[in-house]
Amino acid sequence: MKRISIYSFSFLIIVIPMLFVEASCESAVVTEYQTQRQTDDNTSGVTKASRPMIIWLQSLEGDLEVMRLAISGGVFSHVMLSWLHAYDRPFDLFNKNIQKAIRLCKERDVKVIWTRWLYPGYKFEKFKYEDAFTGEYYRQQIRQIKREAMLMGADFVALDAEPYANSPLKSLKLYPPRKLSETEFRKLNNAIEIAIKTEGQVDFVLPAASSLPRHLYNATCSLGKFVIAEHTYQDIPAKIEDKRRPYDIFGAYVKITKKNKKKPNQPYFTPREILQRQKLWSHKKGLFIYPGSRENAASVALEFSRIESVGPIHDGSNIP
């Protein structure tokens, strides 16, 4: 019988527990995040009648000084920090922009919503069109973003279901969009339902459901506890009042001028206007500000920084 040296035995004693810890680490992180979110839900008034939150959208690859300016005035309670899909941009806790964005938000007591694209837009070695109809794919996305949020210290998580760039699902977004077949739509709904049962929902999802039948968004909107509307971006009453597209948070495309040169019948909102027209969003859970291009975002951020208050609606003590 071959003898096992004391060194081999020691190696087994050290390495096996390490492997066990590594394998269970990700599960523990996600579980901790879920436990903390349940506590937050029970103590912060998320599920109760509360005054709306006001959210600034900020790309992680954008100019964070613009975000700093936007939140400096005290209007915003939350920042949605958005990044590409994890296949396109793997998570890096030591990314300078992540560290800076979190620090800036904490300094202003603004909560962070960590957001990822739901579908990859550039790298497809691990993703095919068919994957979008499997429960395992959505389980992975929910698990991954919750893990990242816990590691970086974000307060909430969100998924952006719009297919961007070169996504295999982009034909489902283009106008007129391609309808999912009845079989695809059923499989998609089942896949998302399975994922939610095991991993739970994310906190926010966008966009809201479409008015078109068997549209991608009609299924993905169930991924989040709170749905952010994009069909309300322009000041078009018929779209804003469309009862077929329920949502929780009013989304507004904000510019310095209302005029839309390319589409005159689709005017934008302006910073002071959207805050004054509270009847559009005060009965909802919140207001989401989409500032558009980098150049436009800088001008909009400057205007918001000059606004000191939003009246009685903006009460941080009642914001989740």
> What domains, with CATH codes, occur in the chain?
9-318 (3.20.20)
What's the mean per-residue pLDDT of the chain? 86
Q: What is the pLDDT of residue 34?
A: 52
Find, among 35, 154, 161, the residue nearest to 93 by Cα. 154
End-to-end Cα, the chain, rounded Å? 66
> What percentage of the chain reaches a pLDDT higher than 90?
76
Amino acid at 116: R
Residue 4 or residue 157, greater confidence: 157
Residue 142 or residue 311, greater confidence: 142
Burial of 160 (0-12, 13-18, 19+ CB in 10 A): buried
Judge whether residue 150 has pLDDT over 90. yes
pLDDT tens sequence across 262-293:
999 999 999 999 999 999 999 999 999 999 98
Judge whether residue 111 has pLDDT over 90. yes
Judge whether residue 76 has pLDDT over 60. yes
Judge whether residue 59 has pLDDT over 50. yes
Amino acid at 203: D
What backbone phi and psi angles, to 5 degrees, belong to 141?
A: -65, -45
For residues 117 and 66, give the distance between their C-alpha atoms in angstroms, rounded to a whole number.
22
Find, among 79, 84, 77, the residue nearest to 58 by Cα. 79
Can you say whether residue 214 is alpha, beta or left, with left for phi > 0 and alpha for psi between -120 and 50 degrees?
A: left
Residues 6 or more apart from 53 whose CB is under 8 A from it? 77, 78, 249, 285, 286, 287, 319, 320
Judge whether residue 50 has pLDDT over 70. no
Q: What is the pLDDT of residue 49?
A: 41
Residue 151 or residue 12, greater confidence: 151
Determine the longest span between alpha carbons in the chain, in angstroms. 87
Residue 289 or residue 11, greater confidence: 289
Cβ atoms within 10 Å of 85's Cβ, excluding its own: 23
For residues 151 and 163, give the distance between their C-alpha atoms in angstroms, rounded to a whole number.
26
Q: Are the beta carbons of 131 and 100 closer than 8 angstroms?
A: no
pLDDT tens sequence across 214-239:
999 999 999 999 999 999 999 999 99
Judge whether residue 11 has pLDDT over 90. no
